[in-house]
Amino acid sequence: MLGSESKAADYPPFKVGLSTQVVAAGFELIPKVPGDKNNKLTFRPAQSNYVGLILGYKWIAGTLAFSVPASSKVRDVEGVSNYQDYRLSYYLKKFGFEAVYNRFKGYVLENSSVLSAESLGGAPLYRLPDLESMGYGFNLIFTGDPKSYSLSAAIDQSEIQKKSGGSTVILVSSRFQNIQNGVPFVPVEKRPDFGLDQNVSAFRSMNVSGSWGYAYNWVPGNFYLSGLGALGPGYQTTRYDINGVESRKSSTVLNLHIRLGLGWNSKRAFFTTNVGFDRIGFGTESVEVGGLFSIGTIAAGVRF
Protein backbone atom coordinates (compact mmCIF):
# COMPACT_ATOMS: atom_id res chain seq x y z
CA MET A 1 0.00 0.00 0.00
CA LEU A 2 1.13 3.55 -0.62
CA GLY A 3 0.11 4.97 2.78
CA SER A 4 3.04 5.32 5.17
CA GLU A 5 5.63 4.08 2.69
CA SER A 6 5.74 7.33 0.73
CA LYS A 7 5.89 9.88 3.52
CA ALA A 8 8.27 12.79 2.99
CA ALA A 9 10.54 11.50 5.76
CA ASP A 10 11.43 8.48 3.63
CA TYR A 11 13.45 10.54 1.13
CA PRO A 12 15.26 13.92 0.92
CA PRO A 13 12.83 16.87 0.75
CA PHE A 14 14.52 18.96 -1.96
CA LYS A 15 14.74 18.18 -5.66
CA VAL A 16 16.38 19.93 -8.59
CA GLY A 17 16.58 18.93 -12.24
CA LEU A 18 16.32 19.84 -15.90
CA SER A 19 13.54 19.23 -18.39
CA THR A 20 12.74 19.67 -22.05
CA GLN A 21 9.18 20.18 -23.29
CA VAL A 22 7.24 20.26 -26.53
CA VAL A 23 3.95 22.16 -26.23
CA ALA A 24 1.17 22.35 -28.81
CA ALA A 25 -2.30 23.87 -29.06
CA GLY A 26 -3.59 22.46 -32.32
CA PHE A 27 -7.08 21.89 -33.67
CA GLU A 28 -8.93 19.87 -36.29
CA LEU A 29 -11.67 20.98 -38.68
CA ILE A 30 -13.95 18.10 -39.65
CA PRO A 31 -16.90 18.37 -42.07
CA LYS A 32 -20.24 17.27 -40.63
CA VAL A 33 -21.42 16.35 -44.11
CA PRO A 34 -22.06 12.55 -44.16
CA GLY A 35 -19.22 10.69 -45.86
CA ASP A 36 -16.76 13.58 -45.60
CA LYS A 37 -15.15 12.72 -42.24
CA ASN A 38 -11.94 11.76 -44.06
CA ASN A 39 -11.55 15.34 -45.28
CA LYS A 40 -10.52 16.70 -41.88
CA LEU A 41 -7.80 19.35 -41.66
CA THR A 42 -5.31 19.37 -38.77
CA PHE A 43 -3.64 22.64 -37.78
CA ARG A 44 -0.78 23.11 -35.32
CA PRO A 45 1.79 25.78 -34.40
CA ALA A 46 5.23 25.61 -35.97
CA GLN A 47 7.56 23.50 -33.85
CA SER A 48 9.19 25.07 -30.81
CA ASN A 49 10.77 23.53 -27.73
CA TYR A 50 11.29 24.47 -24.11
CA VAL A 51 13.98 23.72 -21.56
CA GLY A 52 13.24 24.11 -17.90
CA LEU A 53 14.75 24.17 -14.43
CA ILE A 54 12.88 21.98 -11.93
CA LEU A 55 12.80 23.13 -8.30
CA GLY A 56 10.91 21.36 -5.55
CA TYR A 57 10.45 20.95 -1.82
CA LYS A 58 8.56 17.86 -0.63
CA TRP A 59 5.29 17.79 -2.61
CA ILE A 60 5.59 21.39 -3.86
CA ALA A 61 7.39 21.59 -7.21
CA GLY A 62 7.58 23.85 -10.23
CA THR A 63 9.43 24.28 -13.51
CA LEU A 64 10.85 27.50 -14.92
CA ALA A 65 10.66 27.01 -18.70
CA PHE A 66 12.47 28.91 -21.46
CA SER A 67 11.73 28.80 -25.18
CA VAL A 68 14.30 27.23 -27.52
CA PRO A 69 13.92 27.83 -31.29
CA ALA A 70 13.60 24.83 -33.57
CA SER A 71 16.48 23.96 -35.88
CA SER A 72 17.04 26.09 -38.98
CA LYS A 73 15.93 23.14 -41.14
CA VAL A 74 12.59 22.95 -39.31
CA ARG A 75 12.12 26.74 -39.43
CA ASP A 76 12.70 26.73 -43.19
CA VAL A 77 9.85 24.24 -43.61
CA GLU A 78 7.37 25.35 -40.93
CA GLY A 79 8.19 28.99 -40.32
CA VAL A 80 8.23 30.40 -36.79
CA SER A 81 5.39 30.64 -34.28
CA ASN A 82 5.22 33.17 -31.48
CA TYR A 83 4.65 31.34 -28.21
CA GLN A 84 3.45 32.22 -24.75
CA ASP A 85 2.75 29.25 -22.48
CA TYR A 86 2.32 29.37 -18.70
CA ARG A 87 1.41 26.35 -16.57
CA LEU A 88 0.78 25.79 -12.89
CA SER A 89 0.26 22.33 -11.42
CA TYR A 90 -0.12 21.00 -7.90
CA TYR A 91 -0.51 17.32 -7.02
CA LEU A 92 -1.23 15.48 -3.79
CA LYS A 93 -2.03 11.78 -3.41
CA LYS A 94 -5.77 12.28 -3.87
CA PHE A 95 -6.09 15.68 -5.53
CA GLY A 96 -4.51 17.47 -8.47
CA PHE A 97 -4.85 20.96 -9.93
CA GLU A 98 -3.65 21.98 -13.40
CA ALA A 99 -3.97 25.49 -14.84
CA VAL A 100 -2.72 26.74 -18.20
CA TYR A 101 -2.63 29.91 -20.29
CA ASN A 102 -1.22 29.86 -23.80
CA ARG A 103 -1.10 32.00 -26.91
CA PHE A 104 0.28 30.89 -30.27
CA LYS A 105 0.55 32.83 -33.53
CA GLY A 106 1.67 31.21 -36.78
CA TYR A 107 0.26 27.80 -37.74
CA VAL A 108 0.78 25.15 -40.39
CA LEU A 109 -1.55 22.54 -41.87
CA GLU A 110 -0.18 19.25 -40.54
CA ASN A 111 -1.76 17.14 -43.28
CA SER A 112 -0.85 19.47 -46.15
CA SER A 113 -0.59 16.43 -48.41
CA VAL A 114 -4.37 16.67 -48.94
CA LEU A 115 -3.82 19.89 -50.92
CA SER A 116 -2.83 20.21 -54.55
CA ALA A 117 0.59 21.44 -55.65
CA GLU A 118 -1.09 24.63 -56.83
CA SER A 119 -2.46 25.39 -53.34
CA LEU A 120 0.91 24.66 -51.74
CA GLY A 121 2.79 26.82 -54.24
CA GLY A 122 5.84 24.58 -54.07
CA ALA A 123 6.03 24.63 -50.25
CA PRO A 124 6.02 21.35 -48.24
CA LEU A 125 3.47 22.71 -45.74
CA TYR A 126 0.53 25.10 -46.03
CA ARG A 127 1.25 28.02 -43.70
CA LEU A 128 -1.16 30.35 -41.91
CA PRO A 129 1.17 33.00 -40.40
CA ASP A 130 -1.70 35.17 -39.09
CA LEU A 131 -3.66 32.37 -37.44
CA GLU A 132 -3.67 32.99 -33.70
CA SER A 133 -5.02 31.03 -30.74
CA MET A 134 -5.38 32.04 -27.11
CA GLY A 135 -6.73 29.84 -24.37
CA TYR A 136 -6.84 29.32 -20.64
CA GLY A 137 -8.40 26.80 -18.32
CA PHE A 138 -8.01 24.35 -15.48
CA ASN A 139 -8.43 20.70 -14.53
CA LEU A 140 -9.33 19.44 -11.05
CA ILE A 141 -8.44 15.76 -10.57
CA PHE A 142 -9.81 13.64 -7.72
CA THR A 143 -8.81 10.03 -6.98
CA GLY A 144 -11.10 7.53 -5.32
CA ASP A 145 -8.38 5.43 -3.64
CA PRO A 146 -5.32 7.52 -2.66
CA LYS A 147 -3.90 4.62 -0.61
CA SER A 148 -3.41 2.58 -3.80
CA TYR A 149 -2.62 5.34 -6.29
CA SER A 150 -0.82 8.67 -5.76
CA LEU A 151 -1.22 11.48 -8.30
CA SER A 152 1.94 13.18 -7.05
CA ALA A 153 3.99 10.01 -7.58
CA ALA A 154 2.52 9.13 -10.98
CA ILE A 155 2.43 12.56 -12.64
CA ASP A 156 5.21 14.79 -11.28
CA GLN A 157 7.31 12.40 -9.12
CA SER A 158 7.16 14.63 -6.05
CA GLU A 159 6.49 11.47 -4.05
CA ILE A 160 7.54 7.83 -4.36
CA GLN A 161 4.96 5.07 -4.74
CA LYS A 162 6.40 1.76 -3.51
CA LYS A 163 3.72 -0.64 -4.75
CA SER A 164 1.65 -0.84 -7.93
CA GLY A 165 -1.92 0.34 -7.67
CA GLY A 166 -4.77 2.14 -9.36
CA SER A 167 -7.87 4.17 -8.69
CA THR A 168 -10.94 5.63 -10.30
CA VAL A 169 -10.57 9.34 -11.08
CA ILE A 170 -12.94 12.25 -11.62
CA LEU A 171 -11.93 15.34 -13.60
CA VAL A 172 -13.74 18.68 -13.48
CA SER A 173 -12.55 20.96 -16.27
CA SER A 174 -13.13 24.37 -17.77
CA ARG A 175 -11.51 25.89 -20.87
CA PHE A 176 -11.91 29.13 -22.81
CA GLN A 177 -10.48 29.09 -26.34
CA ASN A 178 -10.21 31.78 -28.99
CA ILE A 179 -8.97 30.87 -32.49
CA GLN A 180 -8.93 33.50 -35.24
CA ASN A 181 -7.50 34.17 -38.67
CA GLY A 182 -7.71 37.13 -41.05
CA VAL A 183 -9.19 34.87 -43.76
CA PRO A 184 -11.14 31.58 -43.64
CA PHE A 185 -9.28 28.69 -42.02
CA VAL A 186 -10.11 26.28 -44.84
CA PRO A 187 -7.97 26.52 -48.03
CA VAL A 188 -9.99 27.52 -51.10
CA GLU A 189 -9.86 24.12 -52.82
CA LYS A 190 -11.25 22.36 -49.71
CA ARG A 191 -14.07 24.75 -48.87
CA PRO A 192 -16.85 22.91 -50.75
CA ASP A 193 -16.25 19.91 -48.44
CA PHE A 194 -17.21 21.97 -45.38
CA GLY A 195 -20.73 22.99 -46.31
CA LEU A 196 -22.46 26.24 -45.47
CA ASP A 197 -19.87 27.32 -42.88
CA GLN A 198 -16.84 26.84 -45.14
CA ASN A 199 -15.78 30.49 -44.69
CA VAL A 200 -15.53 30.38 -40.90
CA SER A 201 -12.58 32.50 -39.73
CA ALA A 202 -12.88 32.69 -35.92
CA PHE A 203 -14.08 30.64 -32.94
CA ARG A 204 -14.60 31.70 -29.33
CA SER A 205 -15.68 28.88 -27.07
CA MET A 206 -16.27 28.15 -23.40
CA ASN A 207 -16.37 24.55 -22.20
CA VAL A 208 -17.29 23.17 -18.77
CA SER A 209 -17.17 19.41 -18.26
CA GLY A 210 -17.02 16.49 -15.88
CA SER A 211 -15.19 13.29 -16.80
CA TRP A 212 -14.78 9.88 -15.20
CA GLY A 213 -11.95 7.42 -15.73
CA TYR A 214 -9.26 5.23 -14.25
CA ALA A 215 -5.58 5.69 -13.38
CA TYR A 216 -2.89 3.10 -12.62
CA ASN A 217 0.76 3.28 -11.64
CA TRP A 218 2.78 0.09 -12.23
CA VAL A 219 5.87 0.14 -10.00
CA PRO A 220 8.43 -2.68 -10.49
CA GLY A 221 11.17 -1.52 -8.12
CA ASN A 222 12.20 2.06 -8.87
CA PHE A 223 10.77 1.98 -12.38
CA TYR A 224 7.24 3.15 -12.97
CA LEU A 225 4.73 3.16 -15.82
CA SER A 226 1.62 5.24 -15.23
CA GLY A 227 -1.51 6.00 -17.17
CA LEU A 228 -4.65 8.06 -16.61
CA GLY A 229 -7.63 8.28 -18.92
CA ALA A 230 -10.95 10.04 -18.45
CA LEU A 231 -13.90 10.65 -20.75
CA GLY A 232 -17.01 12.66 -20.15
CA PRO A 233 -19.62 15.13 -21.40
CA GLY A 234 -19.22 18.88 -21.46
CA TYR A 235 -21.45 21.87 -22.08
CA GLN A 236 -20.13 24.13 -24.81
CA THR A 237 -21.04 27.65 -25.89
CA THR A 238 -19.42 28.82 -29.12
CA ARG A 239 -19.39 32.09 -31.05
CA TYR A 240 -18.01 31.98 -34.56
CA ASP A 241 -17.51 34.42 -37.44
CA ILE A 242 -18.47 33.69 -41.05
CA ASN A 243 -18.01 36.44 -43.65
CA GLY A 244 -17.86 39.02 -40.84
CA VAL A 245 -21.13 37.89 -39.24
CA GLU A 246 -21.10 36.41 -35.72
CA SER A 247 -23.28 33.40 -34.85
CA ARG A 248 -23.77 31.49 -31.60
CA LYS A 249 -24.23 27.81 -30.82
CA SER A 250 -24.61 25.80 -27.61
CA SER A 251 -24.24 22.04 -27.42
CA THR A 252 -23.07 19.05 -25.42
CA VAL A 253 -19.70 17.61 -26.42
CA LEU A 254 -17.41 14.74 -25.43
CA ASN A 255 -14.08 15.58 -23.77
CA LEU A 256 -11.04 13.30 -23.46
CA HIS A 257 -8.13 13.57 -21.00
CA ILE A 258 -5.00 11.37 -21.06
CA ARG A 259 -1.83 11.40 -18.92
CA LEU A 260 1.02 8.92 -19.55
CA GLY A 261 4.33 8.56 -17.74
CA LEU A 262 7.39 6.30 -17.81
CA GLY A 263 10.62 6.54 -15.87
CA TRP A 264 12.73 5.95 -12.77
CA ASN A 265 11.82 7.41 -9.37
CA SER A 266 14.16 6.65 -6.47
CA LYS A 267 15.25 8.13 -3.17
CA ARG A 268 18.12 10.10 -4.72
CA ALA A 269 17.24 10.61 -8.38
CA PHE A 270 14.42 10.64 -10.93
CA PHE A 271 14.09 10.39 -14.70
CA THR A 272 10.74 10.72 -16.39
CA THR A 273 8.99 11.05 -19.73
CA ASN A 274 5.44 12.37 -19.55
CA VAL A 275 2.73 13.10 -22.10
CA GLY A 276 -0.47 15.02 -21.40
CA PHE A 277 -3.33 15.28 -23.88
CA ASP A 278 -6.71 17.03 -23.68
CA ARG A 279 -9.28 17.05 -26.48
CA ILE A 280 -12.20 19.46 -26.26
CA GLY A 281 -14.75 19.62 -29.05
CA PHE A 282 -16.91 22.46 -30.37
CA GLY A 283 -18.09 23.66 -33.78
CA THR A 284 -20.62 25.29 -36.09
CA GLU A 285 -23.65 23.85 -37.86
CA SER A 286 -21.56 22.20 -40.61
CA VAL A 287 -18.01 22.13 -39.16
CA GLU A 288 -16.85 20.11 -36.18
CA VAL A 289 -13.79 21.44 -34.32
CA GLY A 290 -11.54 19.33 -32.11
CA GLY A 291 -9.21 21.30 -29.85
CA LEU A 292 -6.00 19.32 -29.25
CA PHE A 293 -3.93 20.58 -26.31
CA SER A 294 -0.84 18.54 -25.53
CA ILE A 295 2.51 18.64 -23.76
CA GLY A 296 5.41 16.19 -23.81
CA THR A 297 8.16 16.37 -21.19
CA ILE A 298 11.47 14.63 -20.55
CA ALA A 299 13.02 15.43 -17.17
CA ALA A 300 15.81 14.26 -14.89
CA GLY A 301 17.09 15.39 -11.52
CA VAL A 302 18.30 14.59 -8.03
CA ARG A 303 16.96 14.78 -4.47
CA PHE A 304 18.96 16.05 -1.53
Average pLDDT over residues 276-281: 84
Distance between first and last Cα of the chain: 25
CA distance 175 to 237: 11
pLDDT tens across 219-275, in order?
Answer: 999 999 999 999 999 998 999 999 989 999 888 888 999 999 999 988 889 999 999
Nearest to residue 111, comparing CAs of 177, 30, 183? 30
What is the number of domains present in the chain?
A: 1
Domain that holds residue 241: 3-303
Q: Give the C-alpha distances (Å, rounded to integers) separating 130 from 68, 77, 79, 213.
A: 21, 17, 12, 38
Phi, psi torsion values for 38, nearest 5 degrees: -75, -5
Percent of the chain with pLDDT over 90: 36
Instruction: Count the neighbouring beta carbons within 10 Å of the beta carbon of residue 72.
Output: 7
Tell me the CATH number at 159.
Answer: 2.40.128
Is the confidence at residue 5, as pLDDT, over 60?
no
Is the confidence at residue 279, as pLDDT, over 90?
no
pTM of the predicted model as reported, rounded to 2 decimal places: 0.82
Instruction: Count the neighbouring beta carbons within 10 Å of the beta carbon of residue 34.
Output: 6
pLDDT tens across 128-178, in order?
Answer: 989 999 999 999 999 999 999 999 889 888 788 889 999 999 999 999 999
pLDDT tens across 16-43, in order?
Answer: 888 887 777 788 898 887 655 568 899 9
